[in-house]
Amino acid sequence: MTIKLPADQYIQVDGIKTRYWALGEQGSPVLLIHGQGGAIDYWYRNVFAIAQQHQVYALDWVGSGKSDKPQKTYNLDDLSQFIVRFMDAVGLSHASLIAGSVGGILALKIALQFPDRVDNLVLIGIGGLGKEVAFPARLTSLPGVGELLNHPSPGAAKFMMQQCVYDASPYLNNSEFMDLVLRNMSSEILQFQTRTFRTMGNFFGIKSEIWQPIRERLSEIQSPTLIMWGKQDRAFPVGHAEVAAHGIPDAKLQLFDQCGHLPYLEYADEFNRAVLEFLSTHSKRQQPNTSLHQNE
């Protein structure tokens, strides 16, 4: 099956050449935020469906995908600010944020710091709600070990998918998809990831100074929130979904059985329907359509 992707666009954000997608001509604005090790490519089963009813943006945040990969270390605050400045650059005064994994931590930080800019939150298997995180990530935090593991290969891509989804066979048997995975596992990307993870975690898990402040402030989230999680998520345990659902006022929780860390891929049709229904119920504002198709 051929993987269809929107046209790449680029814009400068803090001097970083940043790849993004922009599609959809009507409806309220939506911004897709991938997780660590991710890229906008992984939203390919979602963007066209959501764009039928919304203006959709997605970006490769700094160090990811086809965006620039500077040698400096970015922490979570740096990354969340980068996303806000991307919104400024493309003229997004506000949007609903759909965010997965570590991207979910970034979305929460944005919602807490700039509540007027976040219409709704869709949080998918997010990190940062407890110390628990997958062992491979903890392993990369060790000095020297992370660097040793930063060598992309078909075997590494296979292992990643086996860790990320409940049933990896449909993906492992799709050479086009596995090429996409390997493309987003360059040494530069892996090195950037390792530097970032070391600011938030160590061999024992996510650092308490990262997850405790976020967990303690969940009750301050003002945006309507949909939490989506795979019951068999190996990256961040499904128990964290309950933490988010109980902590965020009036949050809605949807769990996917026989599903890992990527429900937007593993159950794309069900995911898209749930997101569109949620957004239609909670849509607030339209975004002036001024810069959807500008290249810089």
Percent of the chain past pLDDT 70, that is, above it, reads 95
Look at residues 144, 153, 159 and name the one whose alpha carbon lies nearest to residue 186.
Answer: 153
What are the Cα distances from residue 50, in Å, to 164, 166, 191? 23, 24, 32
| Model pTM score | 0.94
CATH of 11-134+203-282, picked from 3.30.450.40, 3.40.50.1820, 1.10.3720.10, 3.40.1800.10, is 3.40.50.1820
pLDDT band per the 50, 70, 90 thresholds, residue 143: confident
Tens digit of each residue's pLDDT (9 = 90 or more) over 161-220: 999 999 999 999 999 999 999 999 999 999 999 999 999 999 999 999 999 999 999 999
pLDDT at 286 over 80: no
pLDDT band per the 50, 70, 90 thresholds, residue 148: confident
Q: What is the pLDDT at residue 42?
A: 98
Q: What is the pLDDT at residue 123?
A: 99
Q: What angle do CA 21, 26, 31 make, to 5 degrees?
A: 40
Residue listed under structure tokens 């700094």? 62
Look at residues 254, 265, 99, 255 and name the one whose alpha carbon lies nearest to residue 167.
Answer: 265
118-133: average pLDDT: 95
**Contact at 8 Å (CB) between 132 and 204?**
no
- 3-class state of residue 98 by DSSP: strand
Q: What is the pLDDT at residue 295?
A: 43
Q: What is the pLDDT at residue 125?
A: 97
96-103: average pLDDT: 98
Q: What is the pLDDT at residue 285?
A: 57
Residue listed under structure tokens 């100074």? 209
pLDDT at 147 over 80: no
Tens digit of each residue's pLDDT (9 = 90 or more) over 253-274: 999 999 999 999 999 999 999 9
**Contact at 8 Å (CB) between 27 and 21?**
no
pLDDT at 84 over 90: yes
Q: What is the pLDDT at residue 139?
A: 85
22-39: average pLDDT: 96
Total Cβ atoms within 10 A of residue 135 = 11
**Contact at 8 Å (CB) between 127 and 106?**
no
pLDDT at 16 over 90: yes
Alpha-carbon torsion, ordered 105, 23, 9, 154, to 10 deg: 60
More confident residue, 139 or 78: 78
Domain ranges of the chain: 11-134+203-282
Q: What is the pLDDT at residue 1?
A: 60
Alpha-carbon torsion, ordered 287, 47, 80, 285, to 10 deg: 20
d(CA 22, CA 51) in angstroms, rounded, equals 9
What are the Cα distances from residue 201, in Å, to 23, 125, 237? 35, 17, 16
Tens digit of each residue's pLDDT (9 = 90 or more) over 65-81: 999 999 999 999 999 99
